[in-house]
Structure formats: structure tokens, C-alpha cells
Amino acid sequence: MASIVALVVALGLVVIKVWAWLATGSISLLTSAADGLVDVVASIVTFAGVRYAARPADRGHRYGHGKAEAVAAFVQALLLTGAAVWLGIESAQGLFVPRVLNQTGFGIWVIVGSSLAAAGLVGMQTLVVRRTGSTAIAADRAHYVTDVAVNLAVLIALLLERFLGWARADAIGALAISVYMVWTAWSMAAHSLIQLFDRELDTAERTRIEVVVRGCDGVQSVHDIRTRNGGDRVFVEFHVEVDGALSVAEGHAIVDRAEKKVQQLFHVADVTAHLEPAGIDDERLDDLIK
């Protein structure tokens, strides 16, 4: 639902901003409209990514499809970068050849309305991200946070043009927006690549996992903890050491409790533990990493 609402809002804002650009001739309004067009494409990508990521595990994808969200976020970053580069070139030209603007009052009202709509959408998406942890919606939200910043820059440029007659304010505002768009795209891409490259969870999360496992009755030690963010869930694996004299059933019960304790640490987690007799001397991932 969040991705559909974002798509509808983005389409509406693009139409209004293009109308305002045609009326005023403002390059910063064109920048904002182009950014909005990227938002439309990004929202379509987000919708597709979220739908695909929600599919359950199947024969070909036994870990699920959660990384589709990270792919969607990375595609959004690429789209935003491309738009920013093109708009940056347009803005630079405006610095050397200032353009005369028309109907700046109309443009100002359009930007104020767009800012309010984008801010409302960001608020809704923030609630969705807190509830679901969706990477794709988080990336989409970053787009609309950018939209709010873009709109504010456009508003300042139009106000300076209308009331102070600063002919280059429009181009400077558009150039600043382009730089901000590149910075936002870089942040989005970096976050999505953490998932795509199976980067470990941070040290604090790994420590929480180890503490919880060691606190389970019957667990003597734990090693070879491996974690990754799968987009829609966290994957955790570890080796549990128990008394070697226990029966397989008793050892399995201990491991089962440890897995459930770790699952409770996260919104959604797929946890797998490997049972070993305490003190076993074998090749360990921890040693290889060291």
C-alpha cells in the first residue's frame, strides 16, 4: 500500500511541477520535476521489488526473495545519480546565461503545496519502515526526503528571484539540488550494497546474539557466528557446544531453545544452529578470519 500511495503522489507532483515549469521557465522547478519523474520510476521499481521480495521461499530460492528490495534500492540510486548529473549540467549553463522567470508567484504556491504533500508521504513511509524494516520503502523515503529538500531549495530560489531580483538564484538553487541528489544516491547505494554483499551485522548485534546463546541452559560455548541481512529478514548461523555425553535428543532441545532466543532479538529472523560436543578440535571460521 505504501508503494502504491507513493507512486500516485509522485505522478501527481510531476504533472503539477511540469505545469509550473512551463509557466515560469524556472530551471530549479525543472530540476524538481525531473527529480519527481525519477521518483515515479523509483516508486514503480519499489512496488515491483516489494512484491517480489514478499514471495515465500521456493525450490529455486530457498532463502527467500528478500534481496529484491536491495536491488530495487540500488536501481533507485542509479536513477537518481543519472538525473542529478543531467540537471547539474543544465544548472551550470544557467549560471552563465541567466534566464528570465515568469509567474514566480504561481511557482511559489506550487512548491509550497508539493512540499506539504512530500512531507506527508515521508511521515507515512517512516511509519511503514519502522513497522516492516523494508529496505525498498526506506530507499523510496530517502527520495521523498530529498524531494522536501529540493522543494525548499526551489522555494528559496524563487523567493530571491521574485523579491530581490537575483537572476542567478534559480540556477544556483538547481545546482545545489543536483549535488544533494548525488549525495543521497550514494547513501542509498551504500546501504543496499551492504545487503547485496552479505555484510555481517554490526558488532553490537553479534554481541547480543552471543550473549543470548551463552545464556541458554546447557550451552557451554558458541563459535562461528555468521550473520547477514536478507532484506525482509536477518539470517543467523552459529555453532553451539554442549556436553558430549548428552543424547542427540537432549542436545537438539538445547539448540532449539538457543535458536528461538536469537529469533526473539529481531523483527524477522531465520536462525540455524549446528550442534557440537564441547571442546571439539576442528577447523573453525573464527580461526580462519583471524
Percent of the chain with pLDDT strictly greater than 90: 24
- DSSP 8-state code for residue 133: -
User: Do 215 and 189 share a domain, yes or no?
Assistant: no
Whether residues 136 and 59 share a domain: the answer is yes
Q: What is the CATH number of the domain that holds 251?
A: 3.30.70.1350
Q: Does the structure show a pLDDT above 70 at 277?
A: yes
Q: Which of 196, 230, 256 delimits the end of a domain?
A: 196
- 269-277 and 234-242 beta bridge pairing: parallel
Confidence tier at 165 by pLDDT (50, 70, 90): low
**Structural domains of the chain, count:** 2
The verdict on 84 and 174 lying in the same domain is: yes
Please check the confidence at residue 147 and state whether its pLDDT lies above 60: yes
182 & 208 share domain: no
Q: Mean pLDDT score of the chain, rounded to an integer?
A: 82
End residue of a domain, out of 177, 196, 215: 196
Determine the pLDDT at residue 103. Answer: 61
Q: Which grid cell is 258?
A: 538457543
| Residue linked to cell 516489494 | 50
Express each pLDDT in 83-116 by its tens digit.
788 778 877 776 666 555 556 677 677 778 878 8
186/276 same-domain check: no
Q: Which three cell numbers stand for residue 289?
A: 578470519
Q: Domain limits at 59?
A: 2-196
CATH number at 117 reads 1.20.1510.10
* Alpha carbons 168 and 286: distance in angstroms, whole number: 59
First to last CA, the chain: 46
Phi, psi of 239 (to 5 degrees): -105, 130
Contact in structure between 133 and 267 (CB atoms under 8 Å):
yes
pTM value is 0.65
pLDDT of residue 41: 76
* Strand, helix or coil for residue 134: coil
pLDDT digits (tens, 9 = 90+) for 188-230: 888 888 888 888 999 999 999 999 999 999 999 999 999 998 8
165 and 220 fall within a common domain: no
At 36-84, the pLDDT tens digits run 777 777 777 777 877 887 788 888 888 888 888 788 888 878 888 887 8
158 in Cβ contact with 170 (< 8 Å): yes
Please check whether residues 42 and 186 belong to one and the same domain. Answer: yes
Boundary of a domain, candidates 139, 165, 196: 196
Q: What does the pLDDT read at residue 163?
A: 67
Residues 13, 112: one domain? Answer: yes
Lookup: cell for 16: 503539477
Q: Is 242 left (phi over 0), alpha (psi -120 to 50) or beta?
A: beta
Q: Taking a C-beta distance cutoff of 8 angstroms, is the pair 3, 46 a contact?
A: yes
Residues 22 and 165 in one domain: yes
